[in-house]
Amino acid sequence: MLTRQEAHRLLLNRLTRREDDCNHFVEEQRTVERPFGWLFFVAVAESNTVAQMPVQTYRLIIVNKHSNQVIESSIEYAPERFIQIYEKLLAKSQAQAQNWCLNMSLPLPWRRSGRERLATKAKRMGFYELK
């Protein structure tokens, strides 16, 4: 399980690997802690120094402390809504994992697993993982 500092480092490492030309600063005072982990507000700036930081945009990024997932959305959500959608998807995922032994063999076209449907819904909601 990640600590907040480890989640912070993981987030910045993933962002640095993906986008070398941007400077990212986590707004620590705005970070929201939830049972699954944290919602970080990441400022994207042109300058390397915090003192001269003209903020261009903010990105909302979730770090799951249990699975080390770093989740962002291509759709702009209010922070509360982003958390709400993630928690709902997470609850459905956990429910499917607990009921795995209750699955029956179904005829086509119902063969698609619930996990596939959940992943499709997450993509439709704009969610993707930073790897």
pTM as predicted = 0.80
Does residue 27 register a pLDDT over 60? yes
Task: Write out pLDDT tens, residues 78-116.
Answer: 999 999 999 999 998 888 776 655 555 555 454 455 567
Of 95 and 31, the structure prediction assigns the larger pLDDT to 31
Q: How far is CA 5 from the centre of its chain?
A: 17
Position 40 confidence tier, pLDDT thresholds 50, 70, 90: very high
User: Would you list the DSSP string of 19-32?
Assistant: -TT-EEEE-GGG-E
Label each residue of 74-88 as H, E or C: CCCCCHHHHHHHHHH
